[in-house]
Structures are given as C-alpha cells and as structure tokens.
Amino acid sequence: MSGNRGGPLSHVRVLDLSRILAGPWAGQVLADLGADVVKVERPGAGDDTRAWGPPFLKDTSGEATGDAGYFLAVNRGKRSITLDLSKREGQDLVRRLAARADVLLENYKVGTLAKFGLGYEDMNSVNPRLVYCSVTGFGQNGPKHDHAAYDFMIQAACGLMSVTGERDGLPGAGPQKVGVPIVDLMTGMYAAVAVLAGLSRRDQTGTGEYIDIGMLDVGVSMLANQAMNFLISGKAPRRAGNKHPNIQPQDVFATLDGHIALVVGNDSQFVKFCEAVGRPEWAAEERFRTNAGRVTNQAVLLPMIGELLATRESRLWSELFNAAGVPCGPINTIPEVFEDEQVKYREMSVRIPHPAAGSVPQVASPMKFTKAPLAFDRAPPMLGQHTREVLREIGLNAVQIETLAAQGVI
C-alpha cells in the first residue's frame, strides 16, 4: 500500500473492509488525516451506497457514472480494489494486505469474517501489531448481537427520536429522526478515535488491539444531557421542538421576514439580550434573572420574546445581537450554507480531480493542521480503480493478476 500522502497519519496503512456508512466514515476520517486507505469492494457491485441515488455523479459527457452522492460523501481519499471474499484466493489476498496494514476496519455481521478465516484471531496471527476495529449494530455480544441494523432504526431504539421533534399537541408533533444519519456518522467518529487510541497504545506495547463498536452503544452515549437529566431526576425527557431543556431562551423565533435561531447561554448574555431589544427590565425581574428561573418560566418568557422579534427583519436582529455578543443566526438552506462568507473563507467546499467526471465536489474535513496540513487529493474512487496497482504493491505480477481476474476473484 502506498502511503505517499501528506497529513499527520501519512505513515499509517488502513485496510477497509467496511461498507454503507459508519465504517466508511471512519475510513474517510483516517484518509483525510493522511492514511493510505485501501477499500475492498465486491467485484461488479461494490459498496451498496454506490447505487443509493439519484443523484449520481455525471461524467464529462453528462452521463451518470453509477456513483451516487451517498457514496461520494464517505469515501474520499481511498483506493478501491475488488475482491471476492467468498473465494479462497480472495481471502488469501486479504491476509497479505492485512500483514502490511496498521489498521483493519470491518462492519460485517458478527461472525461473518471468521467464517472466511478473516476474523480478529486469524488476522492477529498474521499481524500481531494490527489494530482491528469491528463496527456492528449492537456490538459483538448480548441478546441482539446478531440483529441487522441501520441508522434510522438505531435512532429510534436508542431514544434519540423520543427527544427529537415538535412537542405533543402542536402541528407536526411526533418522533423525528435527525436530518442526516447521525448515529452512523458518530459511530464512524468513535471508531476513528478508538483506532487512533489503539495505534497510540501499540506504540507503547508493540501489540495491536481489537475494538468492538456498536451503533446502539453510540446512540445511547449521544443522549448526553438528556440521559443525565433522566438519570438524576427519574423523569423521561420529552420532545420540545427547538426549545432546549436546560437553557433558556433558546428557540427558533419568527421575525418580520423569516426566522432566526436565538441562543442565550448564560445570565450575562441574557442581560445583553434584554438591553439589545430595549427591555432591560426583563433581566431584573426575579422570574427571569437566572437561567433556572427562565427555564421554569419559559411559558411566560418565550411568547414575550416572540412578540417582540416578530416586529423586525431577521438581518436587523442578527446584526443587533451579534454586535451585543448574543449568539444568534439565520436558518440557512444547504445552498445558503455554501454561500456563507465564513464557510467560503474556511474553504469547506473543495473540488478534487476525478477520472470520469473531471472533478468532483467535496465537503472538506473540519480538521485543520498547521504543521501537517491535510491534502484533499484523492477523489472517491471508481469501483476497482486501484485493484491492479495495489496487488502489484504486495508482489503479484501481471500474469497472476490477470489469472485472478479470469477466475472472478477481482
């Protein structure tokens, strides 16, 4: 595997056997950091997300390439090879790749890779320094360990949907999922963090690690303050729309021409807010003087704020609050996000050369390093784009490679 890339992980080789989203997101994080990530896909089909469209990336002639936006969002920076893991020859090649790797990512159902001789114990015997990370819906043990899982059902099962959405009794009430596959994404982030910890420990001990990441575990961990609210009070948190259960005022408010998101995070900010809107007496009132009081009395306070904010345009309120040091902002559409001056300045949208499309747009990593800057130089790969290149790197000659192709192994 070639590791001639920039970034703080340019010395790290990753063998990525994962597909769909959680595992590939972890692989993309590592690739963004400079790791050489070789993605193993099924011959002729590839990762399921290649087909999860429309929309599909178009080539330079305007024809669809067969790669959906979903795939393009989570596979930047990787090299794609095709291997049939059900064939002995394919399994042997995985072992050869693992022998040279630092990290192996996989998200097959529990026990699947072990049937192929590619489980952790098998790989540990090939490479004792390997950090092997398994991502599944429910973890490697427990009564549900063999159940299939997708982000949507985990958002429901972990309790996230019970606290997301408008409160009962209002139009649109009911449980809601988050607008992106947040548990998948956070599972990928936890996996990447765990891999980095495994690599750090290996530097100290000389031995690898086995990491077990379950999506349900991640979803439960993400409940954060909502979980703690329940654990210390015994009361089940409820959906509250855009209102924060512990900080007020924090909500979406209608203005004369739209809406703004207002976040008053502490008592001093509330004083500044009241002065900015010309109601300094609110901050002196006992009911609203402290955050606890504002949370308790939000049914009184929020309508007062809402009535006032409805009298002026969003832009004017934003300018006024930002000048006063009160956090607020517009509710942008996604096109508006990429037109935002701060987003543009931080170069969060990039284009990477692509062999079929000329170039492909990407949302850049938010991690910015000064001494080892990240390089966005590898587009999400076409299916099997690097198969022959990678196989040559592990010692196969042209005849051997063509024989594997004729056998349907690659």
Q: Name the residues annotated as catalytic.
A: 184
Phi (first) and psi of residue 400, to 5 degrees: -60, -40
> 3-class DSSP state for residue 213?
strand
Residue 31 burial (CB count, 10 A): 28
> 3-class DSSP state for residue 343?
helix
Task: Locate all alpha helices (DSSP H) within 206-351, ordered by sequence.
Answer: 215-221, 224-233, 267-276, 280-284, 291-296, 298-309, 314-324, 334-337, 341-345
Distance CA(298)–CA(287), nearest Å, equals 9
> To the nearest 5 percent, what fractions of the chain are helix, strand and coil?
40, 15, 45
Q: Which among 291, 308, 397, 388 has a CA at the least distance from the CA of 83?
A: 388
Residue 257 burial (CB count, 10 A): 10
Token pair of 410 as six digits: 């690659």
The DSSP H or E segment spanning 122 is helix 120-126
> 3-class DSSP state for residue 128?
coil
Q: Kindly give the pairing relationship between strand 328-330 and strand 349-354.
A: unpaired
Distance CA(255)–CA(381), nearest Å, equals 45
How buried is 54 (Cβ within 10 angstroms: 0-12 exposed, 13-18 middle, 19+ buried)?
A: exposed
Give the count of alpha carbons within 13 A of 60, CB side only: 6
> 3-class DSSP state for residue 136?
strand
Helix and strand numbers, DSSP H then E, in the chain: 18, 13
Dihedral sign from CA coordinates of 135, 141, 147, 153 = negative
Distance CA(138)–CA(149), nearest Å, equals 8
Distance of CA 34 to the CA centre of its chain: 18
